[in-house]
Amino acid sequence: MKSINGFSNRYTCAVLFLLIVADNLRAVACEACKKQQPEFLQGITHGAGPDGYVDYLIALLMVLITLYVLVASVKCLIRPAEKDQQHIKRLILNN
């Protein structure tokens, strides 16, 4: 397949498909759970919502850590910093 800016059309289609499917698979809370959750979180998931500011802080910290790990992983996959010809990855890549 031809590539566009280094990405294969196959991968572009796969990513678009996953985004469309993920949008349609959102969890929807039942009526009882909606009543237990704060207004801006209603209908997102089942169960009771956060109890206080500490719960929001924990969730925010979790999101920040996850985003950092995601960005760092993608960065390492796209542009690895190892240039040494004796690096262990060369053993796998050269075979």
Q: What is the mean pLDDT of residues 8-33?
A: 70
Q: How far apart are CA 35 and CA 2, in angstroms?
A: 51
Supply φ then ψ for residue 30, to 5 degrees: -75, 170
More confident residue, 29 or 17: 17
Which helix or strand (DSSP H or E) is residue 4 part of? strand 3-4
Cβ pair 64, 57 in contact under 8 A: no
Report which of 83, 37, 81 is spatially closest to residue 56, judged by C-alpha positions.
37
**pLDDT digit string, tens, across residues 40-94:** 777 666 777 778 889 889 989 999 999 999 999 888 877 777 778 787 777 777 7
pTM to 2 decimal places: 0.52
Q: What is the pLDDT of residue 62?
A: 95
- Per DSSP, the three-state class of 29 is coil
- CA 51 to mean position of chain CA atoms: 25
Please name the amino acid found at residue 84. Answer: D
CA–CA distance from 5 to each of 10, 56, 57, 72 (Å)?
13, 39, 39, 21
